[in-house]
Amino acid sequence: MSGLFSPVPKERRSELFDREEELAALTRHVSGGAPLVLCLGVRRVGKTSVVKTFLNESGLPNIYLDARSLAALGYTRQGLYRALSDALTRLRGRFADVSEYLGRVRGIRVGPFGVELDWRKRGTSFLSLLERMEEYAESRGTVFVVAIDEAQDLRLLKGLDLVKLLAYSYDNLRRVKFLLTGSEAGLLYGFLKLDERDAPLYGRARDEVRVERFSREKSLEYLAAGFAEAGISPPEEELERAVEIFDGIPGWLALYGYAACRGRRDALDASLEEAVRTALGELRHIASASELYAHVLRAVSMGHARWSAVKRAVEIWTGRHIYDETLRRVLNKLTSMGILAKEGEEYRFLDPIYRRAAERL
């Protein structure tokens, strides 16, 4: 199914509802601003869709890497280079004249079926690849975009200091622009260390585009537009309820719209269940690091919002004393991952679907 409710990241404006401002901001920053642009927002809000649509519509030469793919490919030089060779193969498909420049990078083979990288230590140099892309952009009078989705995951990469590479590119390659997205803003800042003296990127300016959830009105408009496109009209009360439950997160609204378009009578309940399960899967993954995460998440989901209340609940459940330092570490981690937010003295979930999921932990 194509259209506004299709359940994959969007790549075309015709399938992307709204986001005009975000697209305009990306255009502005990438063509004129700092060499580093961050696109931030909570899970399922549409970061990938905004970035992919931007890359597609801008017509700028680019490579797009999803750092999450390293979970399967390996957090190694080899894993990264595998992802990179796919990205370069796609680049060459769209910009045939880039082959000449790629061919000049040591360790890169441009063959009839794709671009291959030699990932060994003395193989392809990422830096020399970026330098050739700078020349390529220069020859076309444009910029070259390196887009990395969920870039905070690059912190797990072994054997390659990408932040150093980024800093070198930042300082020397005027036409290479890094566009990084992250659902886990705290982790992304932690990885880039822009404010840390002695770190390679210290003091560098960056531009930021925040992808926010839809307002109540925008959510209703999105649903109405999607249903009009599909030629169906679910009851108004159902739309209202969906907007309330999914709290303006486009990914969840799309899930509901998709289910309703496929003729499910229980579309709302079914999509809510699917959303909660998706969130639960992710929370379980986080909690696999330590039981404490599950206890803390459950405590906050039950309304124990303050530090002391979380602590008391967790101590009762575990039957042991929890050190302040330990609890602080867990809460800070969940905040930097964009699961919880701290407002004044209270912790709360950024997305009510994750709160529901945490109740089941």
Ligand X SMILES: Nc1ncnc2c1ncn2[C@@H]1O[C@H](COP(=O)(O)OP(=O)(O)OP(=O)(O)O)[C@@H](O)[C@H]1O
Distance CA 300, CA 335 (A): 12
d(CA 5, CA 10): 10
Residues 303, 287: Cα–Cα separation, whole Å: 19
**Residue from 153, 213, 146, 212 nearest 182 by CA:** 153
- List the beta bridge partners of residue 180: 38, 148
- Cβ proximity to ligand X: between 47 and 295 the closer is 47
What residues between 37 and 56 interact with ligand X by CB under 6 A? 41, 43-49
Angle of helix 267-287 relative to helix 352-359, nearest 10 degrees, comes to 70
Is the Cβ of residue 150 or residue 207 nearer to Mg ion in the bound state? 150
The listed partner (Mg ion, ligand X, none) that binds 254, CB under 5 to 8 Å by sort, is ligand X
**Structure-token match 């919002």, residue found:** 305
The residue behind tokens 């990288």 is 117
Q: Which stretch binds ligand X (CB under 6 A): 10-18, 57-65, 107-115, 159-167?
A: 10-18
In the complex, what is the shortest distance from the CB of residue 284 to ligand X, in angstroms, rounded to a whole number? 16
Handedness of CA 193, 347, 279, 250 (dihedral sign): negative
CB of 146 to ligand X, least distance (A): 17
* Residue from 11, 13, 18, 109 binding ligand X (CB under 6 A): 18
Residue 183 touches ligand X, criterion: CB under 6 A: yes
Our finding on whether 7 is near ligand X (CB under 6 A) is yes
Fill in the per-residue mask, 25 to 54: x = in contact with Mg ion (CB under 5 A), - = not in contact.
Answer: -----------------------x------
In angstroms, the Cα distances linking 70 to 90, 155, 350 are 18, 11, 26
What does 44 interact with, of ligand X, Mg ion, none (CB < 5 to 8 A by kind)? ligand X
In the chain, beta strands by DSSP E: 36-40, 62-66, 108-111, 114-117, 144-149, 176-182, 207-210, 340-343, 346-349
Look up residue 214 and give its amino acid: F
* Closer of 46 and 352 to Mg ion (Cβ): 46
Among ligand X, Mg ion, none, the one that 46 touches (CB under a kind-dependent 5 to 8 A) is ligand X
State which residue, 47 or 77, has the beta carbon closest to Mg ion. Answer: 47
Cβ(251)–Cβ(44) under 8 Å? Answer: yes
Compute the least distance from the CB of residue 322 to ligand X, in Å: 30
| Nearest CA among 61, 48, 64, 63 for reference residue 15 | 48
Q: Is 167:200 a contact under the CB 8 Å cutoff?
A: yes
**Between 60 and 254, CB nearer to ligand X:** 254
Binding test (CB under 6 A) with ligand X, winner from 16, 40, 102, 267: 16
254 touching ligand X, by CB under 6 A: yes
Number of residues that bind Mg ion (CB under 5 A): 1
Residue among 61 and 251 whose Cβ is closer to ligand X = 251
The span of 69-77, 109-117, 246-254, 268-276 binding ligand X (CB under 6 A) equals: 246-254
Q: Would you count residue 251 as binding ligand X (CB under 6 A)?
A: yes
Which residues here bind Mg ion, judged by CB under 5 A?
A: 48
Which residues here bind ligand X, judged by CB under 6 A?
A: 4, 6-10, 16-19, 41, 43-49, 183, 250-251, 254
